[in-house]
Amino acid sequence: MRKKIVAGNWKMNKVLDEAVALTSELITMAQDEVQGDVRIILCPPAIYLTVIKKYIENSPNFALAAQNCSDKVSGAFTGEISAQMLQSIGVEYVLIGHSERRQYFHESNELLAEKVNTALENGVSPIFCCGESLKQRQNEDYIGFVKNQITESLFHLSAEQLLSVVIAYEPIWAIGTGLTASALQAQEMHAALRQHIASKYGEEVAQEISILYGGSVTAASAPELFASPDIDGGLVGGASLKSREFTNIIKAR
Ligand code: PEP
């Protein structure tokens, strides 16, 4: 049975009071309204992780993700945060390869493979983000492009390691643009990625791995997306900053 997950990527938003208020509201709303076994993963800025951790302590369906980690283990890398540090404060997940990191910080598939390794070695599960640009969708084999991101950053893993990874398909043209991929477009890619994983690791592993969709998900678009057979939940940016909207998205899962 694949895990159902809705993750909220706050990016570089919210001051401390706002981050705490949003967390408290989400916990209350989830307690009152969310049924079933959906896992809610909050991805606040790293500076708030220890604070937010205390707030979610008694809410077993909540977990935390960092938005990034270093590919290095430790040492003279000023400003960086290691996977071991995340593990030491009880952070269970880390976003790896978000398109903003790929675009603005030039993170390559090869570097992301190193980040995946250090996360797994420290017991932190990568939420591995992949996705094509609009230009690639219009002019190239866009499915092949995304498959290749997975091949180059994940296919060195053992099956057991891969099962600790969550994949998030996030078409770049849909992130923060208000343009959501249609449920059909998203399902096409999710099925292709699952098939790609099956070709390397076998059908059983492919059926076990959670693949999330991300890109302008809202409470209005979530039900149709989440009803698709290969979409196991969402990675939500903008809409995760509003407790009511995000709770409604969680309820759609
Ligand atoms: C994201 O940042 O991962 C994301 C999907 O953002 P948005 O929902 O705002 O498009």
Distance 202 CA to ligand 1 centre (A): 30
Digit-coded pLDDT (tens) for 131-141: 999 999 998 89
In this prediction, residue 23 carries a pLDDT of 98
The DSSP secondary-structure symbol of 93 reads E
* Ligand 1 site, residue 230, Cβ cutoff 6 A: no
Phi/psi at 127 (nearest 5 deg)? -100, 100
Measured by CA distance, the residue closest to atom 6 of ligand 1 is 237
Is the CB of residue 216 below 6 angstroms from any atom belonging to ligand 1?
Answer: yes
What's the pLDDT score for residue 177? Answer: 87
Active site residues: 98, 170
- For the chain, list the domains and their CATH numbers: 5-252 (3.20.20.70)
The C-alpha atoms of residue 138 and residue 79 are separated, in whole angstroms, by: 38
Residue 41: phi and psi, rounded to 5, are: -115, 120
Find out whether the beta carbon of 237 lies less than 6 Å from any atom of ligand 1: yes
Give the model's pLDDT for residue 162. Answer: 98
Residues of the chain with pLDDT under 70: none
Q: How far is the CA of 181 from the centre of ligand 1 (A)?
A: 12
| Residue 195 alpha carbon to ligand 1 centre in Å | 25
Distance CA 33, CA 205 (A): 32
Q: What is the mean pLDDT of the chain?
A: 96
Please provide the size of the chain in residues.
253
Q: Is 95 in the pocket of ligand 1 (CB under 6 A)?
A: no
ipTM of this complex prediction, to 2 decimal places? 0.97
Q: How far is CA 202 from CA 42, 182, 183, 196, 229, in A?
A: 31, 28, 26, 9, 18
Res 180: pLDDT:
84
